[in-house]
């Protein structure tokens, strides 16, 4: 079984956002997969995908604070700022975290740990809607 779907995530403000449910809503075929993999590819260079804590929103706020300290906006020496002061720092953050995830599927569900969820890291002040190419590969029920 191979299935590929382009999912458009709604626009979000800068920060880290739990998007697991929004992704799953765009993948009803996942329920028919007994065992397999879901590959997610974010088609943007100023946002990222990662897996982390899905319960306490403070973790997502702390992620934003940490990455803003690690890669500050408006630091001297950046040449690329065609789209504003948040442009190059957004690219750096996206490269550090990455734009893809491979997640196991078991019995028609993502086999995430109890406290795991998929984060979208929105690294632009006004990034807009984001597109994720989702590929399901596995065996049906």
Model's pTM, two decimal places?
Answer: 0.95
Among 72, 58, 141, smallest CA distance to 106 is for: 141
Q: Select from 140, 108, 94, 95 the least CA-distant residue to 27.
A: 108
Q: What is the distance in angstroms between the CA of the first residue and the CA of the last residue of the chain?
A: 11
pLDDT of residue 76: 84
Torsion of Cα atoms, 68 then 70 then 74 then 80, to 10°: -110
> Taking Cα atoms as reference points, which of 103, 78, 21, 8 lies closest to residue 47?
8
- Sign, CA dihedral 14-18-24-30, equals positive
pLDDT tens over the chain, length 141 residues: 999 999 999 999 999 999 999 999 999 999 999 999 999 999 999 999 999 999 999 999 999 999 999 999 988 888 888 888 899 999 999 999 999 999 999 999 999 999 999 999 999 999 999 999 999 999 987
């Amino acid at each position: 079984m191979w299935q590929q779907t382009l999912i458009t995530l709604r626009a979000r403000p800068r920060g880290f956002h739990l998007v697991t449910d929004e992704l799953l809503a765009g993948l009803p075929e996942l329920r028919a997969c007994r065992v397999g993999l879901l590959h997610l590819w974010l088609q943007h260079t100023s946002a990222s995908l990662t897996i982390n804590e899905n319960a306490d929103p403070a973790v997502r706020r702390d992620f934003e604070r940490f990455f803003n300290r690690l890669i500050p906006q408006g630091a001297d020496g950046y040449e690329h700022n065609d789209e504003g002061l948040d442009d190059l720092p957004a690219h750096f953050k996206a490269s550090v975290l990455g734009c893809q995830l491979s997640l196991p599927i078991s019995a028609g569900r993502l086999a995430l740990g109890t406290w795991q969820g998929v984060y979208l890291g929105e690294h632009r002040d006004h990034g807009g809607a984001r597109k994720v190419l989702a590929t399901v590969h596995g065996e049906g029920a």
